[in-house]
Structure 1
C-alpha cells in the first residue's frame, strides 16, 4: 500500500471515529494513536499476523489488535462503501475481462476460484476449521457474498457479453476445478 493512501485512511478514521482518536486513561496514560492501530491492522491483513504476534512489535495487546482490526474494517466500509464497495458496472467488468486476458490469456474470465485461497496458518483459534467441515467449501462461502458472483449466478447483472472463437457468451466466468458444483458461472478445467 502506498504511504499516501495509508495516511489518508489513518486521517479519515481518526477524524470520523472516536476509537481512533487519542485519549488518556485514568492514570493519564496516552492511548495508542490512530497510526499505531492502523499499522497493526495492516500487518494483520498483509502478513497474516496473529493478533498476539503484534505484542512485541507494536507493544499492543492481542485484545487491542483485535479491536483495531474490527474498528478499521467497520470504519473503512462505512466511509468508502458508496464509492469503492458498490456493485460493479459493465465498465468495471470489462476492465476485469481485459486484466485477466492480459495476465492469463483467458477472454471473459472474471477470476479463478483456486487463486482465492486465504492463508489459514494464522487463523484465530475460535475460527479455526469453521469453514473446513465436511460438505463445506470456504471459496464458495466467500464468493456467495460477492455482488458480482451473485449477479452472474442469478443472471441479473449487467450484460457484459463477449465473443470467443466466433461464439457469443452473455456472462463472464470463473475458472474452477472439478470439485466445484456445476454452475453457469464456473468453467471447469
Structure 2
C-alpha cells in the first residue's frame, strides 16, 4: 500500500522492522493472530493491532481517538497496547532490554562526551 519512503515517514520505521515486530509478536502471543468472533466475522488483523499499539506509543495517541481511524474501542486499544508491550518485553528482553555492562556504559559515556554531552548517563534516570 505504501512505498518504502511513505512507509518510513508514516510509521517512523522501515517496513522490514515493522514486519519483524509483527512476525515476532504473532509467534509468541496468540492475541496477535486473527480470529473470528462469535458471529463468524474476522476480528482485527495483526497488522491493525500492532499499528494501533505503535501509534499510541509513538504519538501519545489516546485510546479513544483510535476508534475513528481503526474502529477499535478504547478498551480494545488499551488491551492491545498492554499485550504488545508485554510481548515485546518477553521477546526482546535478553537482546535489547538488558542493563548495560561496564564496557557498554564506558562506550556510551565516551560517545556522549565526544558529542558534547558530558554527564548524560547520570541524567537518564531523570528523563520522562
Map of 2:61 onto structure 1: 49
- The runs of at least 4 consecutive aligned structure 1 residues that moved more than 4 Å come to none
Q: 1:97 aligns with which of 109, 113, 124?
A: 109
Are residues 116 and 30 of structure 1, via their aligned partners in 2, closer, same or farther at CA, if it must alter by over 3 Å? same
In the alignment of these two chains, the number of paired residues is 116
What is the rounded CA distance, in whole Å, between the counterparts of 1:111 and 1:44 in structure 2? Answer: 28
Which structure 2 residue ranges, 5 or more long, are not aligned? 1-12
What is the rounded CA distance, in whole Å, between the counterparts of 1:86 and 1:16 in structure 2? Answer: 20
Higher strand share: 1
8 Å Cα contact 1:51/1:65 also seen in 2: yes
Q: 1:61 aligns with which of 50, 56, 73?
A: 73
Map of 1:116 onto structure 2: 127
Per-residue deviation, 1:111: 4.6
Secondary structure in 1 aligned to 2:100? coil
1:115-146 CA distance string (max 9 Å, x none) = 723xxxxxxxxxxxxxxxxxxxxxxxxxxxxx
Q: Does 1:20 align with 2:32?
A: yes
Per-residue deviation, 1:87: 2.1
Secondary structure in 2 aligned to 1:25? coil
Per-residue deviation, 1:99: 3.0
8 Å Cα contact 1:54/1:61 also seen in 2: yes
Per-residue deviation, 1:41: 0.6
Q: Does 1:75 align with 2:100?
A: no
What is the rounded CA distance, in whole Å, between the counterparts of 1:90 and 1:114 in structure 2? Answer: 17
Instruction: Provide the alpha-carbon RMSD of the alignment.
Output: 1.9
Higher helix share: 2
- Provide TM-score, normalisation by structure 1: 0.56
8 Å Cα contact 1:100/1:111 also seen in 2: no
Larger Rg belongs to: 1
